[in-house]
Amino acid sequence: MASAIVVDKSGSAPAPSHEDVQAFLTSIVTAKTSHASVDAAYALTELLTNSVGFRGLQGYGILDSLKKSATNKKDPVQREGAMNGVGALFERFPRAQKLAEVIFLVQDETLLPLTIDSLSDKAAPVRESAKYALDSLFDNLSAEAKVIGFLPALMKYLGKKSGKWQGAVGALELMGRMADKAKMGMESLEVEQEKDVLREAMGKKLEGLIPIVESYMHDLKSEVAKQAVKTMNSLTTLLQNDDIAPRIPLLVKAIEDPSTQSLQKAIHALSQTTFVAIVTSPVLAMVTPLLERSLNNPNTTQEVTRQTVVVVENLTKLVHDPIEARAFLPKLRPGVKAVLDRASMPEVREIGGRALAVIDAAIADKDGNVEHGALARVSPFEVSLVLETHIKNAGGLLNFPGDNEVWASAKALISAMIAEDVHERQVKRISSLVAPYLQPLMNPGAAEKVSEAVSQFYIDEDHRKFGQPVVEDDGETEIVNATFSLGYGGMLLLSHTNLRLLKGHRYGLCGRNGAGKSTLMRSIANGKLEGFPPQDEVKTCFVEHNQGEDAEITILEYIVKDPRFQDETRERISEVLEEVGFTSGPEGRQSHKVGSLSGGWKMKLALARAMLMRADVLLLDEPTNHLDVANVAWLQEYLKSHTEITSLIVSHDSGFLDAVCTDIYHYEQKKLVCYKGNLADFVRQKPEGKSYYTLSDSQVQFKFPPPGILTGVKSNTRSILRMTDCTFTYPGAPKPSLYNASCNLSLSSRVAIIGANGAGKSTLIKILTGEVVPQDGKVEKHPNLRIGYIKQHALEHVEMHLEKTPNQYLQWRYANGDDREVLMKQTRVLTAEDKAQMETPIDLGDGKGARKIEALIGRQKYKKTFQYEVKWLHMLPKFNTMISRETLLDKGFQKLIQEFDDHEASREGLGYRVLEPKVISKHFEDLGMDPEIANHNEISGLSGGQKVKVVLAGAMWNNPHLLVLDEPTNFLDRDSLGGLAVAIRDYKGGVIMISHNEEFVGALCPEQWHVIDGRVQHKGHLAVDMARFEDSSRPGSSVASSNVSSAAPSSAGTPIGSDTEGDMKFKAKKKKKMTKKEQKEREVRRRLRYIDWLNSPKGTPQPPNTDDEAE
């Protein structure tokens, strides 16, 4: 009776009598309308919360009464009223007293299943009331309570499979809603933190959730199966892995349809995936059952087995948590061991051995962290001990009758929720998990003391493990102090990190590729970063050179038409443009069209727009790309001189970051960590950051094949490619891009083409490689010369072959003995004039009359040149004629000769190669690509850096003598750039490149061609700067490279004997035998020269000893 019910200390009303409570219960289950029933339930809830609180739920037998009415099969009105009553309790009670959740979810194990079963009631009003009850409970629970209390109850219900199909659909729908609720968004910090907790905690339970949902995906009732598939798709959003995300539909299909074919498709898709993101337990929970199924199926083919083991190896390498590894990988180990022992193909057994070694390494506890508890997670039991201690210190519990049973359940729930928050480092949420549950059980104010003490205990523990955050107070003007999380495509990039910007500081953003640097900049620019001040407080400008729209209007008009500058006068706009270099007047640069601007001038135009906006913060994403040295220096001075502007900079150019930055923000474990000073200071504090600062092949290694022999070329300094007095004008251009350019290249050339944007650098390269034909002048090359050309837009080479693997692409490209991509050059494509020339009969004056050439079918040396075997149209091979190169050139058959020379050069180069998958695989391995990826992954699934390696492999396959690189630093990341630099340094052939990256050029190219307004100037010396390389044995010195030690400026060429190279004739000259006297004199000269070199300053190149000395 009433005296048995203790009034809650916080209650303001006396305890109601049993008769009063029973009257309310009767009204609830007998009300004529749903509205009246809900009102009566609300009244009962208010009565209880204002008096006896949670104790009345069981003390008055309220829940038992409602459950009895809910199971009354004869009266649907009672069943509906009972669900309305339960719904009102679920809606109102947890808000007033959180301890009621313990009774609903833990103590009373039949209430929630009964409510779910009511979703299958015959009467629609009962089903609607049950849905209202479940929705109310779901909406009132915290993230921790959902995962620790509500989700286990759903899993238990679904695991029994004792209810009707509507109940299963309802439980699955609630489970899917919970996963959807965890999706990352751009809401408030508090909401996003709750989502983080829900996402991480629910992700850890996927191992148990997926088998349950999978079993319902095969249910005979279509409604259940459809909802299970929908729920499974919702659960996959918890994976948070960009590598797996594109493959999720196939994975779900393989679970839904357990056929061998669907499993093979999923395994194939996974084997085509390049895994780079850290693999966590949600990913392992999703893919482990599929991999286990594939490994244990005796009918799995050797190819699918190979793919499965490859996926296991790649995934395991990225499992960084040994606790998670020990939870999942032992399930896969027996299958992988069986592959090693019993696979029929040696290649598959070899991969199985590698995978097994990786699994054992991941499970192993090398440093003892697992055994000694360094990585151990806080258990709910440990939390309960801390909780009990602080409750005792605060005076203990009230211990009213019945409280002990409730507290036993509440302690388990609270401890598990706190343990989850501690593991996720959400320690600031702990106070909200303690006080609301303890308030009804303790004296006023005591619960808050316990909550504060427990929260502080775990905050201190977190600081002890991970370090205490540094509070900065430097007295400078702070313009931004934002705490935020950042996601992209469902992937969490930054988690609750802080960005603090001071006025006038220039911050460099550093992090690995894919860390989210550009995404952060875009989010700030678009005003979508939580906590970042709006534009009316802090004006932010994203500086980018993308003025592609309105390319036909003038620069001045382009700015004037911008709606953001409507308040600016035309004169003011013109002044600002002039300040950054755009001259005014009819002939000035302001009157040029936007479309004519090069990359450097587009950057200046973007800065002019920022100046007109009076920006407080400049966001610069790779600002030095496409900028020449002069413009980079100008940009550095501009940023340093404008001390009122704060800059946030992303750049791979370490020299630029060194010159400009005052601070470095570094991405570390989904946080932004600030380091004072420039990039050099950052490297001193974090030595692993050295990869930003030196060119090193420690991460990515390239190895270029040696070039083949060139007939008649005995010296590395002999010219093999030359252009003379070449002038070229693009169609429609008012003036030539290149004037009277002359230059030579040899096997020892290391040439950098330097010049302002739009000066004609790429045009020079295109003329040298035969991409375009000059209007005046001539280009001559050794007939057997092979060129490896990497264009500025390098991926154009492979974008047309996305369905092929890299290995197949290389086989296609060289299948006919020629490089098929050479045939696409403008100098190889026959124009209408060329076709007309082929139709023109020629008369050699041999008395056989005029004949038409059908093809060139052979070539041989003839005096100092070549002669070609000509097959005549409609004539038998016995009438073929040998015609000299000069005669054919005079008759206008230049392209025909070039095509045949290319074929012979390629054939000679490929003579050293066997076009077999195994050899191709080794070639890709030399260029830093995993043979597994090269042989089995389609190009469409490769990352940008891997596609670049495919392009490099294609260019280097036929052992080129000359490597041509157009802006290599634009398409390679820092590690690959270091590998490429070391490979070029050690390459035995010639190299010519265009690059604005002074670090890259300065380290590799002792000779420079400066292109100024279309004219070429030659500058150079003979030293490669070895100090730029991490593996330099003599730091600080500049020594001659072994490959370029005999180099001479490429503009000069090297005469041989009395012959000139005017007609690029290559003749092997026989060496004159030296007398004994001459040999003795030569030895004396060499010894004296060596002694002089030993006495020279450190770093002086050693003079070469050549066979054709003329001393």
Q: Per-residue pLDDT tens for 730-763? A: 777 778 888 899 998 988 888 888 877 777 888 8
CATH number at residue 681: 3.40.50.300
Other Cβ atoms closer than 10 A to 698 = 14
Same domain, 122 and 3: yes
State which amino acid sits at residue 605. L
Same domain, 192 and 246: no
Domain membership flag for residue 1111: yes
Is 870's pLDDT higher than 60?
A: yes
Same domain, 623 and 501: yes
Same domain, 399 and 542: no
Q: What is the mean pLDDT of residues 183-192?
A: 72
Q: Which of 44, 42, 21, 40 is nearest to 32 (CA)?
A: 40
Q: Which of 730, 771, 778, 766 is nearest to 992 (CA)?
A: 766
Domain membership flag for residue 635: yes
Task: Identify the domain containing residue 439 by its residue range.
Answer: 382-463
CATH number at residue 63: 1.25.40
Domain membership flag for residue 957: no
Is 531's pLDDT higher than 60?
A: yes
3-state secondary structure of 863: coil
Amino acid 171: pLDDT: 93
CATH number at residue 248: 1.25.10.10
Same domain, 216 and 246: no
In order of 714, 1057, 1074, 1110, the CA distances from 1071 in angstroms are 11, 11, 9, 14
Query: What CA dihedral angle connects 180, 183, 187 and 190, to 10 degrees?
Result: 90
Amino acid 51: pLDDT: 85
Mean pLDDT of the chain: 80
Supply the DSSP symbol for 706.
P
3-state secondary structure of 375: coil
Same domain, 218 and 234: yes
pLDDT digit string, tens, across residues 1080-1099: 888 888 888 888 878 877 76
The answer to whether residues 692 and 650 touch, using CB atoms and an 8 Å cutoff, is: no
Same domain, 225 and 306: no
Domain membership flag for residue 803: no
Same domain, 352 and 388: no
The segment with the largest mean pLDDT, out of 415-419, 845-849, 861-865, is 415-419
Q: Which domain-ending residue is among 198, 221, 238?
A: 238
The segment with the largest mean pLDDT, out of 9-13, 602-606, 644-648, is 644-648
Q: What is the mean pLDDT of residues 169-175?
A: 94
Amino acid 361: pLDDT: 83
Percent of the chain at pLDDT exceeding 70: 83
pLDDT digit string, tens, across residues 886-913: 888 787 787 787 777 766 766 655 555 6
State which amino acid sits at residue 789. Y
Q: Which domain-ending residue is among 342, 376, 410?
A: 376
Q: Which residue has the higher pLDDT, 384 or 634?
A: 384
Is 1044's pLDDT higher than 70?
A: no
Same domain, 427 and 531: no
Domain membership flag for residue 1079: yes
- Say how far apart CA 69 and CA 86 lie, in whole Å: 11
Same domain, 295 and 372: yes
Q: What is the mean pLDDT of residues 592-608?
A: 74
Q: Can you state the percent helix, strand and coil of the chain, rounding each to 5?
A: 50, 15, 35
pLDDT digit string, tens, across residues 423-438: 888 888 888 888 888 8
Residue 648 banded pLDDT, cuts 50, 70, 90:
very high
Same domain, 34 and 102: yes
- Say how far apart CA 148 and CA 419 lie, in whole Å: 10
Same domain, 25 and 125: yes
Is 185's pLDDT higher than 70?
A: no
Domain membership flag for residue 659: yes
pLDDT digit string, tens, across residues 49-106: 888 888 888 888 888 899 899 888 888 899 999 999 999 999 988 888 888 888 888 8
Q: What is the mean pLDDT of residues 261-283?
A: 82
> What one-character-per-residue DSSP string does 1066-1100 give?
---PPPPPPPHHHHHHHHHHHHHHHHHHHTSPTTP
Domain membership flag for residue 603: yes
Q: Which domain-ending residue is among 93, 123, 140?
A: 140
Amino acid 452: pLDDT: 92
Name every residue whose Cβ is closer than 8 Å to that of residue 1076 and which is 6 or more positions away in sequence: none
The answer to whether residues 945 and 793 touch, using CB atoms and an 8 Å cutoff, is: no
Q: Which residue has the higher pLDDT, 689 or 18?
A: 18
Domain membership flag for residue 564: no
- Domain count of the fold of the chain: 7
pLDDT digit string, tens, across residues 361-383: 888 755 545 454 445 678 899 99
